[in-house]
Amino acid sequence: MRILAVLAVLCVACPAAAAPHDRTERLLGELADAPGPSGYEEAVRRVMVRELTPLAEKITYDGVGSVIAQHGASGPKVMLDAHMDELGGMVRRVTPTGFLSMQMLGGWLDQALPDQRWIIIGRKGPVHAVTGIRDVHVVPADERTRVFSRDSLYLDVGARNAAEVAALGISPGDPVVPDSPFVALPGGRYLGKAWDDRVGCAVVIEALRRLRASGHPNQLYVAATVQEEIGLRGARTAADLIKPDIGIAIEGGIAGDSPGRSPEETQAVLGGGPGLFLYDSSTLPNRRFVTLVGDVAMAKDIPLQRDLVQGYGDDSAAIQATAGGVPTINLVVPARYTHAHNGIIDRADFDRTVDLVVALIQRLDAPTVARLRNFAPNR
């Protein structure tokens, strides 16, 4: 009994931590596991609509499938964006011997593709597949370190011929997604696919949940957009409908804390807090908005990682170029190994990003937004 009492006291005294399988963890796992390559976001859209509907005053859609949840009827129009699609592919052709070629969707590295498991979403349901790889016993020595082109890879579903592939309900155009189930790792870190940008999808849901309870001075439009990975398409069409005064994109960032990385690639680390992009290859953020984010983070004692990343694009670029020009920023939850089958995020980074987004939107009243949008020279 004495041991049990001591354990009970110790448990009460433990610092606050995410409870196993709490609501947020379950949401992150469901979003990560949902199949949703560009143009095939249906499963993710169902989750987003289910979660956003009780929090919003109105749910609408653009003409390509983005979800727009509105809360608040007065004040500046704030567009809070996260994209639903992930890297994936589609079946291109079926060979007579039952193999399938694949059209990649999004910015894959060729070295991330061989010997990986995939799921094909056919008309009869999901079908498991693998991208084959040549056996080391027959590969010549001078080819063993070579990266093979994606065009040389084929999906293997175990079929003997094209008729067996058809019997599985597979045909050209069917979507293909990584087969990489969500796993909660020790220390509050999560392993899964599609953190770019399912982690952003979870951020905007949790931010709206809190803003609905606490209030905010805006017309808030939470946009879960489509086809970001193939050209930022849904962000543009959603922004065309919203006509925002201000835009905030939430993304999966790029952590540079794994071995072999150069600090010039990225300096963000897991557990270091939310990130703010000062530059990427698609957009430059509004400088006053960048300053405001820093001020809010400091006031709320939220660590903020500022970064510049080349070879990266995000929805804020599309939002920025609509409605005559929109001040935008891109906030990120750092992630390791994006644009591959498996990535890792830190729960503390997620929670702090939600804290920052909520505090920032509460600051975006009409005078503040007017200052961000004012480019008249000082006299």
CA atoms within 13 A on the CB side of 324: 4
Q: How far apart are CA 358 and CA 364, in angstroms?
A: 10
Q: Which helix (H) or strand (E) holds 177?
A: strand 175-178
Q: DSSP for 248-273?
A: EEEEE-----STT--TTT----TTS-
Q: How far apart are CA 339 and CA 358, in angstroms?
A: 28
Token pair recorded at residue 88:
């994936």
Q: How far apart are CA 359 and CA 295, in angstroms?
A: 11
Q: Which of 51, 86, 228, 251 is catalytic?
A: 228
Residue environment code for 170-207, b if the CB has 16+ CB neighbours within 10 A, otherwise e: beeebbbbbbbebebeeebbbbbbbbbbbbbbbbbbbb
Active site residue 228: yes
Q: How far apart are CA 99 and CA 132, in angstroms?
A: 10
Q: How far apart are CA 117 and CA 368, in angstroms?
A: 49
Q: How far apart are CA 326 and CA 249, in angstroms?
A: 12
Q: How far apart are CA 70 and CA 21, in angstroms?
A: 29
Exposed / middle / buried, residue 49 (Cβ in 10 Å: 0-12, 13-18, 19+)? middle
> What residues are annotated to the active site?
228
